[in-house]
Amino acid sequence: MGLLQDKVVLITGGESGIGRASARLFVSEGAYVHLVGLDKHELAEAVNEFGSDRAFASVTDVSDETAVIEAVREGIERFGHYNVLFSNAGISGAAAKITEYPSDVFERVLKIHVLGAFYVLKHAAPYLEDGGSVIITSSGAGLIGAPDLSAYVTAKHAQVGLMRSAAKEFAARKIRVNTLHPGPTSTPFQDDIEMRSTGMDQKNAAQAFDDTIPLGRHSTPEEIAHAALYLASDVSAMVTASTFKIDGGLTG
Ligand code: NAD
């Protein structure tokens, strides 16, 4: 018996990086996964990797409420219910001072992280079985500030507010709601942030970030996936309304 034996998990941004590594681990623990994301090719590849008996994908922009409603309809038609909602989709936005930050990018970053997580919760929670788990991938940037990343930092803090409200609202159904706070994790998403914020090439930018992390290195997507597995499964049955950090001590 796996830790998620026959549980149904919706994962946004499930086709790459942390989402894909989590989907892989969840399937190995017996789960069915509904992958919701933007990249049609990567989604198809992921379904192929996990097997169409275990995985199903919807090409969906989570910032579009109508599209989220449609994705949930597709997921329920395929699986009948959910046990875990994992809102993980995200973008970094621009690297710029607040006075120069493009307002349209600020709005887009908030829409994807905050409205996206809200739409998933609003429209999928009615199909979430009692005793289920909701996980939102925030960030170290959801706990502390950072220069030149105001939209991302604002969005990741706002997800904590959504999580805390939802944890109180859903507790009566024994549904737990937590945020995950990865530190720098080796994915193309993070490479891009690091190169833009340091102006260095990928290797030197990564080294500069490693030097700021007490444990001296980036996390791997698989290490974040194990934290997500803990929150998704019943081994964390008394954990709700928590901000769970996996960052090698960076925000400690
Ligand atoms: P990634 O780029 O590999 O994954 C992001 C995923 O989100 C992709 O699958 C992408 O298609 C999807 N996505 C983006 N916009 C979307 C939209 N509008 N609708 C649906 N899907 C959309 O990067 P990752 O590093 O795996 O990031 C996953 C999450 O982890 C993000 O929320 C990110 O903010 C967070 N995070 C990452 C790090 C890191 O160092 N990599 C650190 C802290 C937090």
Nearest-CA residue for atom 36 of ligand 1: 139
* Token representation of residue 38: 């933007």
Domain that holds residue 135: 8-246
Residue 58 beta carbon below 6 angstroms from any ligand 1 atom = no
Q: Which positions are catalytic?
A: 152
* pLDDT means over runs of 10, the chain (252 residues): 98 98 98 98 98 98 98 98 98 95 98 98 98 98 95 98 98 98 95 90 96 98 98 98 98 94
Residue 252: inside a domain, yes or no? no
Residue 39 beta carbon below 6 angstroms from any ligand 1 atom = yes
- Which ligand 1 atom lies nearest to the CA of residue 61? 19
Domain total for the chain?
Answer: 1
Residue 239 sits in a domain whose CATH number is 3.40.50.720
Nearest-CA residue for atom 11 of ligand 1: 38
Cβ partners under 8 Å of residue 122, min gap 6: none
User: 66 phi and psi, to 5 degrees?
Assistant: -60, -40
Residue 161: inside a domain, yes or no? yes
Residue that the structure tokens 């996206």 belong to: 116
Residue 142 beta carbon below 6 angstroms from any ligand 1 atom = no
pLDDT score recorded for residue 196: 86
Residue 179 beta carbon below 6 angstroms from any ligand 1 atom = no
Taking the C-alpha atoms of residue 71 and residue 229, their distance in angstroms, rounded to an integer, is 23
Residue 90 beta carbon below 6 angstroms from any ligand 1 atom = yes
Q: How far is the CA of 134 from the centre of ligand 1 (A)?
A: 17
Nearest-CA residue for atom 3 of ligand 1: 17
User: 135 near 232, Cβ under 8 Å?
Assistant: yes
pLDDT score recorded for residue 185: 97
Pocket probe mutation, ligand 1, options 24, 187, 197, max atoms within 8 Å of Cβ: 187
pLDDT score recorded for residue 61: 98
* 57 strand-pairing partners: 35
pLDDT score recorded for residue 101: 98
Residue 3: inside a domain, yes or no? no
Tell me how far CA of residue 232 lies from CA of 70, 138, 154, in angstroms.
24, 15, 25
Taking the C-alpha atoms of residue 218 and residue 184, their distance in angstroms, rounded to an integer, is 5
* 145 strand-pairing partners: none
- Model confidence pTM above 0.95: yes
Residue 14: inside a domain, yes or no? yes
Q: How far is the CA of 21 from the centre of ligand 1 (A)?
A: 12
CA 135 to chain centre: 7
Pocket probe mutation, ligand 1, options 18, 22, 217, max atoms within 8 Å of Cβ: 18
